[in-house]
């Protein structure tokens, strides 16, 4: 009987290596079957139950290392090991220890991380024991690792998908728990859909979301979203009349830019594709001018597509852009003889070009100034200083005046607008919706609390209110004002995050993965967009969810 097993190597040279496995697998042996072909079997299992029809009793021709490791974990082999010796072998002990501790995934992962320089991925899992067990890992030497074969790998796409869905479920439950716990939440939608309202209703029911707390609706401004009769926002307001509509600021900037081109006929004839046809002086001047003025415009777009944009940021950045456009491209006054007349300074590209060619600013096309004026007018038109959202600016600490005499009237008009909207009962389709706050108390609370806000003048909108709600009794002292402040903190001004989700989607569902199911895609997106840091993820909960899946052998 030959107790040395030859395992095939994955080497490209075709040579086969031999490895002595007596210490590691003392129960394995080799024999010749009736057809004069080699096979391996388990001595202990054969001695324990000769009538068994198991592969390692009858004999197997699968000379694969992972096949041996799988046999190690079978109950039949463990019983045979106990019967063969008065106590289980070291390898069998390790099997039991690994099985007993495998449910503690976090501890197992911590051990893998601490030993990442020692362990390799093809090492048998039974050697990855948590440090709390107290056993030394001296089963495999570096020479063993070099000689181990790994040409056989087991993969199961269905099992992988189940792990993916289990992880995504944990993250989704965490997100939904946070939304349900929140006193108010917002909805941001981009693009359109034929039955979008039905889908939203199904989503609210399936995720158990209370639409009474849905305070803001943001979209790209399409008629299917904001239509007064059949728009999604109009239908949502039948569920909650306190819902406010927000047209995405990035889309509004885009529309403002398009409107300018229509308002100035001079630029209708300007096309970049004519660069090689009409490379004249006027064409170059127009190109330089647009490069300068659109640079200011593009910076505004980048700011408005940030992960979070505060209400006051919109008007601060907008006013800064308007001032820049006015100074560089409009100037002040039309009569050069007027004492207040100021020539525009122009942008870097245009200013340097006319300086090099010694061109007087007076000879530049009048359409340049018309374009700049039209751009400013369209920005003001698309971002008016009216409505609920403009009134919420008073909660931004940067807007609070420093001088005491200015505090008396600060926010008085805006708080009344907010009180009229949130402090009055509303009726929809015969159903009464009670007021969200007490209007009179809201105004009283504001007159006291605004003096308190001066202490946070150096903080930004989010961080300042986080500190106030966390470290003070503000919510208890000013409950009505706190409610309205919460509404202002969740206004979805920009769809930048939604666009980034589309980008992630395109990276996940590529041409190669074009058959990916919607559920799988959603799980990937849930992990990418909402997944916590690895150290904060609840692996045990994900494992419990995975265990509840129907066993694949039963499917």
Question: 271 or 76, which is more confident?
Answer: 76
Kindly state whether residue 428 falls inside one of the protein's structural domains. Answer: yes
Q: Which residue, of 449, 472, 494, is where some domain finishes?
A: 494
Structural domain total, the chain: 4
Distance from C-alpha of 236 to C-alpha of 215, rounded to nearest angstrom: 10
Residues 91 and 147 in one domain: yes
What are the residues facing 244 on neighbouring strands?
Answer: 216
Residue 3 forms part of a structural domain:
no
* Interval 115-142 mean pLDDT: 39
Q: Does residue 33 sit in the same domain as residue 144?
A: yes
What percent of the chain has pLDDT above 70? Answer: 75
Q: Are both 36 and 90 inside the same structural domain?
A: yes
Q: Average pLDDT, whole number, for the chain?
A: 75
Judged against a pLDDT cut of 90, whether residue 101 lies above it is answered with no
Same domain, 397 and 308: no
Q: How confident is residue 83, by pLDDT bands cut at 50, 70 and 90?
A: confident
- Shared domain for 177 and 256, answered yes or no, is no
DSSP state of 420: H
Domain membership flag for residue 517: no
CA distance 192 to 188: 12
Residue 42 lies in a domain: yes
Q: What is the DSSP letter of 354?
A: H
Rounded to the nearest angstrom, the gap between the alpha carbon of residue 26 and the centroid of all alpha carbons in its chain is 52
- Among 154, 173, 195, the domain-final residue is 154
Residues 455 and 490 in one domain: yes
Element spanning 344, H or E: none
Q: What is the pLDDT of residue 386?
A: 64
| Average pLDDT of span 300-324 | 79
Residue 272 domain-assigned (yes or no)? yes
Structure tokens at 465: 């209110």
415 and 448 assigned to the same domain: yes
Which pLDDT value is given to residue 441?
94
Q: Residue 415: what pLDDT?
A: 93
Reference 257, options 385, 374, 369, 383; nearest CA is 374
Residues 448-471 have a mean pLDDT of 87
What distance in Å separates the CA atoms of residue 370 and residue 375, rounded to the nearest whole number?
9
pLDDT at 261: 67
Q: Are residues 48 and 133 in the same domain?
A: yes
- Contacts of residue 546, Cβ cutoff 8 Å, sequence gap at least 6: 162, 163, 166
Residue among 72, 10, 86, 16 nearest 42 (CA): 72
For position 15, what pLDDT does the model report?
Answer: 39
Tell me, yes or no, whether 529 lies in a domain. no
Please give the structure tokens belonging to residue 168: 């995504």
User: What does the pLDDT read at residue 217?
Assistant: 81
State the virtual CA torsion across 410, 217, 463, 393 in degrees, nearest 10: -10
Query: Which of 91-95, 154-158, 326-330, 358-362 comes out lowest in average pLDDT?
Result: 91-95
At 437 the pLDDT is 92
Q: For the residues 517-544, what does the mean pLDDT come to?
A: 86
Q: Are residues 62 and 139 in the same domain?
A: yes
What gap in Å lies between CA 128 and CA 125, rounded to an integer?
Answer: 5
Among 137-151, 184-198, 284-298, 490-504, the minimum mean pLDDT is found in 137-151
Asked if residue 419 and residue 319 are part of one domain, the reply reads no
Angle at 293 between CA 291 and CA 296, to 5 degrees: 105
Q: Are 238 and 257 in the same domain? A: no
Does 123 have pLDDT greater than 50?
no
pLDDT score at 270:
56
Same domain, 48 and 150: yes
What pLDDT is recorded for position 9?
Answer: 40
* pLDDT confidence bin for 249, thresholds 50/70/90: confident
Lowest mean pLDDT among 34-48, 87-101, 270-284: 87-101
Q: Give the number of other Cβ atoms within 10 Å of residue 456's Cβ.
A: 17
> Given a cut of 70, is residue 436 above it in pLDDT?
yes
Cα–Cα nearest to 481, from 384, 404, 414: 414
Last residue of a domain, one of 120, 137, 154: 154
Candidates 450, 467, 451, 470; CA nearest to 459 is: 467
Task: Identify whether 485 is part of a domain.
Answer: yes
Domain of residue 145, residue span? 28-154
Q: Which of 350, 314, 352 is nearest to 329 (CA)?
A: 350
Q: H-type helices in 49-129, by residue range?
A: 55-58, 65-72, 75-84, 90-101, 105-114
Lowest-confidence region among 276-280, 309-313, 504-508: 276-280
316 part of a folded domain:
yes
Say which residues have a Cβ less than 8 Å from residue 190's Cβ, sequence separation at least 6: 219, 220, 248, 495, 498, 499
**Which stretches within 264-330 are classed as H helix?**
281-304, 311-325
- Which segment, 23-27, 279-283, 388-392, is predicted with the most confidence on average? 388-392
User: Lowest-pLDDT range, 233-237, 419-423, 469-473?
Assistant: 233-237
């Amino acid at each position: 009987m030959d107790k040395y097993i030859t395992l095939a190597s994955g080497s490209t040279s075709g040579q086969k290596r031999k490895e002595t496995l007596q210490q590691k697998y003392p129960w394995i042996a080799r024999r010749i079957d009736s057809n004069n072909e080699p096979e391996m079997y388990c001595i202990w299992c054969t001695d324990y139950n000769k009538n068994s029809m198991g592969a390692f009793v009858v004999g197997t021709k699968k000379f694969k290392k992972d096949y041996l490791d799988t046999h190690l974990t079978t109950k039949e082999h463990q019983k045979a090991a106990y019967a063969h010796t008065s106590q289980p072998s070291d390898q069998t002990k390790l099997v039991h220890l690994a099985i007993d501790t495998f449910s503690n995934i976090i501890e197992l992962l911590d051990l893998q991380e601490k030993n990442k320089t020692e362990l390799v991925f093809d090492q048998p899992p039974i050697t990855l024991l948590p440090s709390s067990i107290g056993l030394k890992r001296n089963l495999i030497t570096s020479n063993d690792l070099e000689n181990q074969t790994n040409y056989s790998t087991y993969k199961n796409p269905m099992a992988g998908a189940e792990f993916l869905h289990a992880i995504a479920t944990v993250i989704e439950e965490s997100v939904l728990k946070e939304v349900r716990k929140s006193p108010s939440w917002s909805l941001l939608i981009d693009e359109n859909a034929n039955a979008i309202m039905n889908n939203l209703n199904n989503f609210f029911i399936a995720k158990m979301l209370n639409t009474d707390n849905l305070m803001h609706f943001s979209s790209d401004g399409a008629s299917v979203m904001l239509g007064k009769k059949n728009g999604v926002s109009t239908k949502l307001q039948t569920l909650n009349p306190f819902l406010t509509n927000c047209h995405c600021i990035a889309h509004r900037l885009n529309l403002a830019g398009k409107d300018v081109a229509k308002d100035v006929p001079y630029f209708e004839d300007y096309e970049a594709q004519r660069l090689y046809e009409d490379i004249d002086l006027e064409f170059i001047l127009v190109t330089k001018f647009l490069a300068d003025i659109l640079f200011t415009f593009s910076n505004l777009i980048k700011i408005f597509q940030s992960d979070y944009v505060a209400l006051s940021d919109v008007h601060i950045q907008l006013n800064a852009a308007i001032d820049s456009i006015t100074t560089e491209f409009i100037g002040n006054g039309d009569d050069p003889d007027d004492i207040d007349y100021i020539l525009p300074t122009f942008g870097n590209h245009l200013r340097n070009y006319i300086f090099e060619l010694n061109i007087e600013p007076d000879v530049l096309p009048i359409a340049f100034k018309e374009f700049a004026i039209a751009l400013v007018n369209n920005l003001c038109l698309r971002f008016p200083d009216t409505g609920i959202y403009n009134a919420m600016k008073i909660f931004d600490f940067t807007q609070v005046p420093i001088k005491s005499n200015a505090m008396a009237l600060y926010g008085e008009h805006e708080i009344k607008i907010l009180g009229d909207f949130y402090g009055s009962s509303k009726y929809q389709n015969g159903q009464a919706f009670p007021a969200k706050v007490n209007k009179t108390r809201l105004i009283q609370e504001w007159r006291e609390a605004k003096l308190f806000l001066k202490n946070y003048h150096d903080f930004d909108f989010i961080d300042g209110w986080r500190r106030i709600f966390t470290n003070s009794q503000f919510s208890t002292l000013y409950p009505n004002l706190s409610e309205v402040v919460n509404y202002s903190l969740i206004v979805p001004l920009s769809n930048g995050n939604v666009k980034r989700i589309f980008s992630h989607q395109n990276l996940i569902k590529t041409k190669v993965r074009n058959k990916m199911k919607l559920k799988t895609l959603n799980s990937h997106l849930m992990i990418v967009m909402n997944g916590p840091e690895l150290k904060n993820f609840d692996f045990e909960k994900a494992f419990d969810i995975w265990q509840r899946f129907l066993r694949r052998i039963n499917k």
